[in-house]
Structure 1
């Protein structure tokens, strides 16, 4: 066995790699450990009792003697052993004699382990000897177990037992320790994280932090090692590019002016300073262009955002939302340079001197020793200013920091201006859409109604959804909900045209299916007028319902629209089975009318598909859930207004901003009291006119409306006479009393009556003129059985 004591000196070996054997004074193996059996694949029974030289790959090596060991067993060295498979296994060994020198305990390890252990030791020794790398070994609680800072900073307080926060700036310490805990938990190393050092322990301003987990042989974490290396000029440039990239990613993610300013302030702390604020011109918040900045005095700025490294906003500073007070006159030099578009670097005392004692308390934070001012200049407009202070970081700003802030502010200004322009356009679009929509609440003799509209994206977008409540003749009312395809101004403009068309056609007293047919023709014309590339996206859906409080009947027709939901007075709900026709603009298909009877106090819900297609389930399932939820709200709210119920329903359905806008119309039905109507039928005979007048006079007396007798008799005489003369019989006369007195005369003719001016020599033609003068409203409507002429009079005659 060869001897090489120099090679075996100072070698680090793991105890798990050591094999043992016991030899007598003649070199015979007496004991053989399990680790030795694993190393050479020979069992103890096979080895014990045999000379150790039988295990050598080259038996000649066994004749080498150590002059200090007459037994021929050297005290230390290397040997080439033979594995059962025949391959050689090199080991490094040390022989230790027993007290009576009759036996030797041989400790051996594979030579590769000795070499690797020596290299590991040399590497660790070299790392801890470096002057430009700060090494730290931290335990599971992140307390420092070993560091080379002690050797390099004599006279300083010992860092052993301390935390990493003592080596880093306060604003980075929590984040850094969180990152180290992630390294301990996951084993994923942290590479090249830029941090700011804190004097006096660390001399340079910026350092790169790397960390990796330490493990024991079974793989259990025992701690974490950290390496802090100073940034070179090239690395600082790379870090500045990284900050510019991060600024472009984090600033300008939204088209909200205030949120953009807040993102900018939150990014600059702690990336560049300790206290940051952004001030914008008042006009920018409303989407308008800021005024020109000339002279001192008012700057028309308002503080939009303020961020600090500690998260606490000092009370002495100007708070977010507050207006910037007038500047001193003459204007400070810093102000002049900002107006010229320069980014200004100044010291704390310099800023205090230029602002004066009163303004300094609002604009200079405690311990503020260095400051950067940069204008937010974009497209020829000074939108505001961004200010960065250093209070905790001891290093003052340098020109590289000024150039960096100038570049960040330049890019951020474009984001602020984009948000400003979007605010202006969006405000105009929303104003247009709001003008196109009706009042949110309506109360008529037929229904009490409340409508709601929620734009797409929680208010960020506009669309073509609309609702409407249209009063019709004889106290009837039309309920309308529609949804134009697409979003934006085009959809809002199309919605306005369709709503106007529906109102106009509703005044013609058309049946729901006939009305939708006419609107369908209009949508087809709009598609023909549109650009060829946009024709496929011109379309709409619509639901049109007419409710009559006299009969409590409701007629509904749908053009590809979701069915309405009905909640009865007993809080039971159902989705009305309406036969859906094709969407508007398809053409060639008829629409069907569904008729149903509604009890007084029933709630009818009309809505657009944005309310029932926001989840993963399909429309019918969502509509059923909507019915259940609406029933629960109506039952729980009792006498609560429909507006409150609608807001609760929409807040639950749109708690996450929807990609589609939502319109909701809730209508609670009413019915006329018993005895509020009366009707008579007369044959086609001029002699029935006095009978009609007499019947009306008696009914008005029963209702205590004798003051209306004279005018009502004249109206009935003219209408009944015209019906007998031009239409034939039978003739139906009906009176309806509510907040107005309604008189209806129906005949089987479809001839349209018209008002004309009679000449002085004409014997007729003045009847409808008299009717128009004696009533507040009058008109005609058609049905399958003919037409009806109706009039309205106030219950109290005008003097």
Structure 2
């Protein structure tokens, strides 16, 4: 092949490339002016070539936002770096009324000797792709945000929060009043005059229009709303006109539609198994784009997902009214803020069972973490849960170690099992045990963690880097099943260790291997930088099925260590003269902590505690003071005999020491240790945290 033939072939190939390539192609000279382009190029289709050739990159992308194209192009020319799939969004020359998203890839053109000839740009219209990704992201957001509770009002609010402003400029949700009250609903169409209650409304304008939240209302006859109730088919209404007849049929909604300038709307039924729960309406008036079929399909899917959660809320309204009242009275509120641990939890009462958790502040700045699961479901399970939780909290506040605590709790469970009514079990055989439970006690001073469990899943323990830490806790029998007792296991944990206590409902799903679910839970939690709340959410999203059949509890705690300058201890001989020494030590320490106002009271408390130890204790005395959220004073000795507070009469010369301690303390008590006992006192810090 001679040179002319080769040039003709190269020219033919180049022409074929520009006429047949499915991607947009632009060739620019070294001044970034277009010297050739093809018909597939987005943004210039239908424009005469003479109006494109010679234009600069800056002129062609003037209506677009995103990455600065000119700077990118100049950088490619200067460095030769290839740029892939950079997105810009705007209104092109060929269609200035429509937004377009374009993907750009740029590379430098060079001659045989390395001379820079210009720039090649591959451009693709990815508007539909990005819109599809946006829809998927919206669905993902809905999955994370909608259905966080069994409250119908909150669920509807979560729906409109997802819809605005990404899909609509305003959205409203109305539910059948019978559904909200838990009354049985019939499948099929619903008359237009059926009472509904406004449960959610949101607008980008911030003003509430139409029926107020919680207000009863009905739809006018022969409107898109009534038609949706009649045939359960979503409606897409475009080019809304103020003269449309249906607007006059429902003036309560028609007037706000006209005054806001709504140009398109969608009405979607909230249905489940052909039973109507309510209606969701979406409006556009700020953005110029009309709703289209893709928007209708997306909103229908979002509303369908919401209907599942609303069905749970409405179907169990009666049971929830009773069970929720009972559970709220028995379950703890927000976990207390503690120095020992940072906590977060997820509690999903999907089946009105008896799962529970607790975070209990203990003496010495320690904390107890508890998760339990009562066998069975219904009101009785919730009531039993309350009894066990109250008994456990009472025992924990006696400063029992976890194994002994479960021994005592098992006695209570055995009594409850003997007296438990079979009501609520239906035809099911009564369970062979009352509950399972795991109890963890963590000390931020020594970083020692003590744990015991009664037939409950082993807690997950993750180190600061997310790796699993070995912590083998002997498994005792479930509570109420009868057994040989419970043993505690102890381990010293590094600071920022993550403890995960959970119930079987989180990892035991029909058709799913519990071991694999536990391994997956470890993977989810192995994110040291993530917040505890986010980890709880991630575990729920990943592990729970779409329609859980059992309650689930996940309690997370990240351990902390109390700073060394917040703990001071002294060992004193059992001699009456050390009382004055103890007072001086306390005074100096409180002055160092800038707490002069607490000196007098604390000296008096310490004097009485040390005197008590000298008089009734054994061995040397240890005095310890801890500055936590409260001021803690502890006196330990080798005697295991617990003190008893006397009520001295007016003529008694002694016996008032512990009474004085009780009067001056916000809390006080005693706990046994491996080599004796400790009497402690806590005082609230009156003027905020000390320096």
Short-chain TM bin? 0.5 to 0.7
Query: Residue 312 of structure 1 aligns with which residue?
Result: 235
The counterpart of 1:453, out of the listed 347, 353, 359, is 347
- Change in CA separation of 1:641 and 1:277 when aligned onto 2, cut-off 3 Å: farther
Query: Residue 518 of structure 2 aligns with which residue?
Result: 623
The counterpart of 1:585, out of the listed 456, 480, 485, is 480
How many pairs were matched up?
A: 432
Query: Residue 546 of structure 1 aligns with which residue?
Result: 441
C-alpha distance after superposition, 1:423-476 (max 9, x if no partner): 2223321332233222344421111111111123xxxx3111111100001110
Q: Give the C-alpha shift of residue 606 in structure 1.
A: 0.5
The 2-side partners of 1:310 and 1:740 are apart by 62
C-alpha distance after superposition, 1:48-90 (max 9, x if no partner): xxxxxxxxxxxxxxxxxxxxxxxxxxxxxxxxxxxxxxxxxxx
The 1-side partners of 2:343 and 2:622 are apart by 32
Q: Give the C-alpha shift of residue 255 in structure 1.
A: 8.7
The 1-side partners of 2:216 and 2:591 are apart by 74
Query: Residue 264 of structure 1 aligns with which residue?
Result: 188
The 2-side partners of 1:360 and 1:552 are apart by 67
Query: Residue 499 of structure 1 aligns with which residue?
Result: 389
The 2-side partners of 1:299 and 1:701 are apart by 64
Q: Give the C-alpha shift of residue 773 in structure 1.
A: 2.6
Matched, 1:692 2:582: yes
The counterpart of 2:568, out of the listed 672, 678, 684, is 678
Q: Any gaps of 5 or more consecutive residues in structure 1?
A: 1-253, 266-275, 286-297, 318-351, 364-382, 386-415
The 2-side partners of 1:421 and 1:774 are apart by 53
Q: Give the C-alpha shift of residue 257 in structure 1.
A: 7.9
Query: Residue 780 of structure 1 aligns with which residue?
Result: 670
The 2-side partners of 1:669 and 1:422 are apart by 38
Q: Any gaps of 5 or more consecutive residues in structure 2?
A: 1-177, 200-214, 220-224, 255-275, 279-309
C-alpha distance after superposition, 1:365-424 (max 9, x if no partner): xxxxxxxxxxxxxxxxxx999xxxxxxxxxxxxxxxxxxxxxxxxxxxxxx999978422
The 1-side partners of 2:515 and 2:674 are apart by 34
What TM-score does the superposition give when structure 1 sets the normalisation length?
0.49
The 2-side partners of 1:787 and 1:580 are apart by 28
The counterpart of 1:481, out of the listed 371, 386, 390, is 371
Check conservation: 2:463, 2:497, Cα contact below 8 A: yes
The 2-side partners of 1:561 and 1:709 are apart by 46
Q: Give the C-alpha shift of residue 793 in structure 1.
A: 2.1
The counterpart of 1:430, out of the listed 324, 335, 339, is 324
- Change in CA separation of 1:261 and 1:577 when aligned onto 2, cut-off 3 Å: same
What TM-score does the superposition give when structure 2 sets the normalisation length?
0.56
The 2-side partners of 1:435 and 1:781 are apart by 29
C-alpha distance after superposition, 1:201-229 (max 9, x if no partner): xxxxxxxxxxxxxxxxxxxxxxxxxxxxx
- Change in CA separation of 1:316 and 1:440 when aligned onto 2, cut-off 3 Å: farther
The 2-side partners of 1:419 and 1:545 are apart by 34
Q: Give the C-alpha shift of residue 706 in structure 1.
A: 3.5
The 2-side partners of 1:569 and 1:739 are apart by 24
The 1-side partners of 2:454 and 2:252 are apart by 66
3-state SS, counterpart of residue 520 of structure 1: helix
Query: Residue 555 of structure 1 aligns with which residue?
Result: 450
Q: Which has the larger radius of gyration?
A: 1
Q: Give the C-alpha shift of residue 652 in structure 1.
A: 1.5
The counterpart of 1:609, out of the listed 484, 500, 504, is 504
Query: Residue 608 of structure 2 aligns with which residue?
Result: 718
Query: Residue 35 of structure 2 aligns with which residue?
Result: none
- Change in CA separation of 1:309 and 1:418 when aligned onto 2, cut-off 3 Å: closer
The 2-side partners of 1:586 and 1:310 are apart by 55
Mapping for residues 246-395 of structure 1, pairs under 5 Å: 263-265=187-189, 277=191, 280-282=194-196, 301=218, 306-308=229-231, 311-312=234-235, 358=249
Q: Give the C-alpha shift of residue 525 in structure 1.
A: 0.5
The counterpart of 1:444, out of the listed 316, 338, 357, is 338
3-state SS, counterpart of residue 343 of structure 2: strand
Matched, 1:647 2:542: no
Check conservation: 1:255, 1:422, Cα contact below 8 A: no
Check conservation: 2:438, 2:454, Cα contact below 8 A: yes
Q: Give the C-alpha shift of residue 620 in structure 1.
A: 3.3
The 2-side partners of 1:488 and 1:359 are apart by 44
The 2-side partners of 1:421 and 1:626 are apart by 31
Mapping for residues 505-520 of structure 1, pairs under 5 Å: 505-520=395-410
The counterpart of 1:749, out of the listed 639, 642, 664, is 639
The 2-side partners of 1:499 and 1:309 are apart by 47
The 2-side partners of 1:716 and 1:510 are apart by 24
Q: Give the C-alpha shift of residue 669 in structure 1.
A: 0.8
C-alpha distance after superposition, 1:695-738 (max 9, x if no partner): 22333333333333222221111111111112232221111122
Mapping for residues 173-188 of structure 1, pairs under 5 Å: none
- Change in CA separation of 1:519 and 1:282 when aligned onto 2, cut-off 3 Å: farther
C-alpha distance after superposition, 1:233-275 (max 9, x if no partner): xxxxxxxxxxxxxxxxxxxxx998899869412xxxxxxxxxx
3-state SS, counterpart of residue 675 of structure 1: helix
3-state SS, counterpart of residue 229 of structure 2: strand
Query: Residue 466 of structure 1 aligns with which residue?
Result: 356
